[in-house]
Structure 1
């Protein structure tokens, strides 16, 4: 059976990623099926721990993994390193004496335990001394309920995680109520600023992006732009001289680096480096996710025998969160970028080939399996091919950040 594993970031109050929840879909079903909970967890573990490795699957951060009663009884948890996982006890597990005994033993062994989709009930009192994290679904609770849960649990040792946090407003409310961790896509919904509020250095990098994507880009003009930023020049040369490229002789000038890379590589790699610079004051996950979307899309179209779209899809993925980095509406940013109309329309939600590929990328990333199946069919992509492409993309992203890390 093919393992479909995606991941969703979990943030702290500083909007830093501290963990990932690993999301599952069994390969022979169109959507997740609760009847296959055991297979789901085993497949997540085999996909993340055995096939890819936790260092790449979660950037060496903890993995939240759902466990069924049956798998808890079978002691599968203890086969996993306690420093790498958070054991999520599903909401449909009755907290009876058997579960209390299992959790007591896991706690003694040093495992972190979470209650998933928590709704307060007195029956959970016996678990509160053993639980480290309680997850609260922000799509099904109101503002008052979100606050009451913390008061009712009344245990300062327990940390609360707000999940399905989809807006900045939800994030800010959760933080004000005392939640410590946050899960959802609030970080990808930009807080729009006026043009005057956008820092000048971000505007400068936006101009560089504009320049490198011009059809008449020339290396002399590009060199002059890059050389005006000493730090950026240094990072470009450091990257070009990294083991990733393996050039035999040292590349010691910006012009030499540009010529060696070629126009397509210049577009991709300088865009990537600029995104990292733009993201210095934003959650790092925005940059990670942008790069992940870029590579995932590129590998997808190669699998679709549409290699001629590789560059467009790579740029589409990289620019998909540019509004979050520049704090401006995507529509306004795209007006200023000399990229293809097809890319612009896809990023704005068009029903087109690139738009369908973008839909496939987003739906897999978020574990929206119904939507993923629909988009895969529209792109004529075999669903069973996608998990391997996703894992290859994760590996590539890990290697890229290793090479460009300060």
Structure 2
């Protein structure tokens, strides 16, 4: 399945790109389709952080992302890296005390705040005192309005003004003359459509997780179990936690540690974003099935071998072994996105190590290649008869996950 988004560059006075506004798209048509604003923002966040390489999408520059009133109140922004994101407060957001307080918290955390499509009204004064950037839509404003906006410097001397929807050289020159700092619009560049392949969560697992995290006393061990049973969520969480969005010295390979690292509130917000984004979509069912079978089988094989301490790595090796087919890309690209432990990486790329042998055993056994299976079992000091005994348990386990 393909996912889409768009980005439009934002320039400074020297025509340097200082950031990109990330925009919702659901196809190759370069236009915003009429969807719910909350859904659009959740999809932009999910796509830019969990589907694409965020660092590549933004060229290491700031990402400008629209936020609705609901998402500001729910503090969804706190799952994003503060130094890389500008929160655009949409013009539909009412500046209530609750919103003012939420914006102050975001500022305290280090986020840059921008007011989108701003038209001055006294009710926005408290917001103006907080924000860093004010965006003025040159398509719907007139010259005197574009200039008068600078009166707001009396309220906040640190505000920068961004002229958006600049369509021609005359409007650009006018913005320069008035003192605008940043510029965006078709005069410089149209939004560029980005597309990539994705894998979506199993619907039943997704619904179970949504039910679980809505229970205020839910058990994190249960959450870990459910995530491990889903190829998509395991892939996306592993990819996110080891990405440039988080500055982690040592790679995290355990879903349990990933959940602990993000913390109670952040993991729930992350799941909320990913699950609402993906619940409507489905993947090639048989490939998902094979992925789960291999994951569980590799884990059980490992537990029967002399490498019991590597059972989790074996599980992840099996799970990601068909990710190239699911995403229709090379295994090199999958590995690059995941940034997994070298041992898992080497196994997936076909290099000889314990995890690769366990994977080969799982694959050969599934294909009925008994001589190869016995050879691989002997190599890791596992009993082939024991392995035979759990194979059908693995199939039943996958059926239980996907269809119960």
Q: TM-score band (shorter)?
A: 0.3 to 0.5
What TM-score, normalized by structure 2, do the two folds share? 0.45
Larger CA Rg, structure 1 vs 2: 2
What TM-score, normalized by structure 1, do the two folds share? 0.45
